[in-house]
Structure 1
């Protein structure tokens, strides 16, 4: 059994409302056509059966497999009833459109075997409509419509399935890259502080031979260096705690709140500003926004211990997502060099690979600013 989809956002509700309006119009137009060509109440059966399949198509996201099976079963039953009760040929236009939605949705989202079974079922319904054909007004057009609808459903479903697979591959590549980035980050922290401890220990040996009375000071310096190493490692591990943190799979900014919450325990206070309403982004945009914030907060924890507050702002319009991370640390000359390391270069490469821009540098008054703008492709999956 497939897992139900996430609750629909405004875009999905609007899309389903538009689809429902199309279904209603198709039912009304075809009822009028049947009444005009057949007369009497022949249109009632077509409208009733078509309305059932249309309703199933509108709730398909709850369970795509069961919805597709139910819609195909109703369509097959309608074909048999229409054939033996001398009614207009089925499926009608509204039902054919609803079946296309069900079949295309199943092909896109279900595993290979169930998706193939649904596609075969759609073909069987289209073939059954042809087999049950009996010369009567309007039926040939219905047969053409059913075949065309099935072909369109298969083509669109496969195309969207390939597009989703490509997006998943991009997200997986980002995850791998983030794991490598984590390894480099930890290596840098450990190497820097352990090198300092080794140097102080070597100096302590010399002090012990020449000035024994100063050994306590050398040991205190080694202890302080060790404490700094532990604190730095805790900050990094606190921000990058597991592989899932590297590339969140959710299609929006939800994971940023958790990232900021963890950072609050390892650095200055952070204020997070997110766009109003539900934001749905492609996986590669989601992971890149997350990575920009993650890298920026990590740099603040490592290179700006004097910062008292950090503001993370995420804004979105129809064309792009903009993320800005600003801290208020006082300017330090040595800090600029560290802030321009390979972490910033990696962020810039990732942002530019998606067609975006990244600007980073010291602010005029105080602190550091990182601003990334990422284009968002128009039209998200329904």
Structure 2
């Protein structure tokens, strides 16, 4: 979880400062070696490519293509006008960022095309000026860009594979839950049917009540089965069978053995939630407490609140763990991936993130389906 925008802004600020330093150093070096205003064109090219690098997230492909075009044009203009050879270090740095960003995020073919375009810039510089220090700078920047892009692709592929494995494992568990939940309703139907057969002749009114119970149980079974099958179709994860306030109290008691006090708030009455809703509540609480154990050793208290209002069940788990050192995110595992997908499939929403001043919060809102009556 966390705040990716903050890290993006920090990275862009660092990139901007690095490019400013490179432009300033290169301007001073050209003024000392070439004299006059030969440094102006080179620095102008560096500024343009730097600006493209800073806005690359808006469209990684087109910004990379624009940067490559600017670099090629700069190579040709510098060769024809007798200016310092391009692309210089001030251009090679942001150009490498553009190529790496596109190579790591775009589909394979566009990524390969942009990487090839970067190589074309290196070749064009070598043809125009021969093998010089500029050529080495360009080649080094291209190699670094391709390496970083490849590393980003591998990291993203591993992350997606791990998340998909979590979903597959949870879907198997959900298949078992489908059997348990529906079997519970079918058992009620069988019992009501047997009772109706026994009293149909002597007590017709009791028989009608049993038939009404069969209808209600059948409706509940169909509704539960539709929701659970919908989860399977949505590649969501599945919790164990239904769990109520008593099971939550037992879960909290087990967790408190780790030395962390838990304040548990649950509805006073026994909730009549569908099994898939109550099971999801249990799993969200369990996953949040597990994250506290694994990632917040400094936490001393945890507040778990489960409430229901206006047809919505709200689950909130908040701990008082210390803020992560250096701003490092401490809850980045895959445990909540399946939970978020499942909550969304049930029509709800789940959020998780750091709290101001320290600690972590996990909150889920689940709508309770209205029970149809005939």
TM-score (ref. length: structure 2): 0.64
Structure 1 match to 2:210: 221
Whether contact under 8 Å (1:65, 1:114) holds in the other structure is yes
Pairwise CA RMSD of aligned residues? 4.0
Aligned pairs for 1:45-84 (under 5 A) are: 45-84=41-80
Pairwise CA distance, 1:202: 2.2
Structure 1 residues 173 and 9: CA distance shift in structure 2, 3 A: same
Q: How many residues align?
A: 284
Aligned pairs for 1:210-359 (under 5 A) are: 212-231=201-220, 234=223, 237=226, 241-242=230-231, 243-244=233-234, 246=236, 269-270=313-314, 284-290=334-340, 314-316=352-354, 323=362
The answer to whether 1:204 aligns with 2:221 is: no
Structure 1 residues 23 and 175: CA distance shift in structure 2, 3 A: same
Pairwise CA distance, 1:280: 12
Cα deviations across residues 58-116 of structure 1 (Å, max 9, x unaligned)?
11122222111111111111111112222112111121011111111111111111111
Distance, in Å, in 2 between the alignment partners of 1:142 and 1:320 is 50
Structure 1 match to 2:106: 110
Name the SS of the counterpart of 1:132 in structure 2.
Answer: helix
Distance, in Å, in 2 between the alignment partners of 1:119 and 1:170 is 27
Cα deviations across residues 329-358 of structure 1 (Å, max 9, x unaligned)?
xxxxxxxxxxxxxxxxxxxxxxxxxxxxxx
Pairwise CA distance, 1:315: 4.5
Cα deviations across residues 22-78 of structure 1 (Å, max 9, x unaligned)?
111111111011111111111000011111111111111222221111111111111
Cα deviations across residues 200-230 of structure 1 (Å, max 9, x unaligned)?
312332334xxx3334314413422542453
Distance, in Å, in 2 between the alignment partners of 1:52 and 1:323 is 43
**5+ long unaligned stretches in structure 2:** 238-279, 282-306, 320-328, 366-374
Moved more, 78-87 or 37-46: 78-87
Higher relative contact order, structure no. (Cα contacts within 8 Å, ≥ 6 residues apart): 2
Structure 1 residues 268 and 32: CA distance shift in structure 2, 3 A: closer
Cα deviations across residues 288-347 of structure 1 (Å, max 9, x unaligned)?
44268689x99xxxxxxxxxxxxx884537999664789xxxxxxxxxxxxxxxxxxxxx
Structure 1 residues 192 and 183: CA distance shift in structure 2, 3 A: same
Name the SS of the counterpart of 1:270 in structure 2.
Answer: strand
Whether contact under 8 Å (1:171, 1:283) holds in the other structure is no
Whether contact under 8 Å (2:23, 2:43) holds in the other structure is yes
Determine which of 119, 123, 129 is the counterpart of 1:127: 123
Name the SS of the counterpart of 2:36 in structure 1.
Answer: coil
Structure 2 match to 1:376: none
Structure 2 match to 1:188: 180
Structure 1 match to 2:260: none
**5+ long unaligned stretches in structure 1:** 1-6, 248-258, 299-311, 327-382
Structure 1 residues 103 and 313: CA distance shift in structure 2, 3 A: closer
Structure 2 match to 1:85: 81
Pairwise CA distance, 1:265: 9.1
Determine which of 134, 140, 145 is the counterpart of 1:153: 145
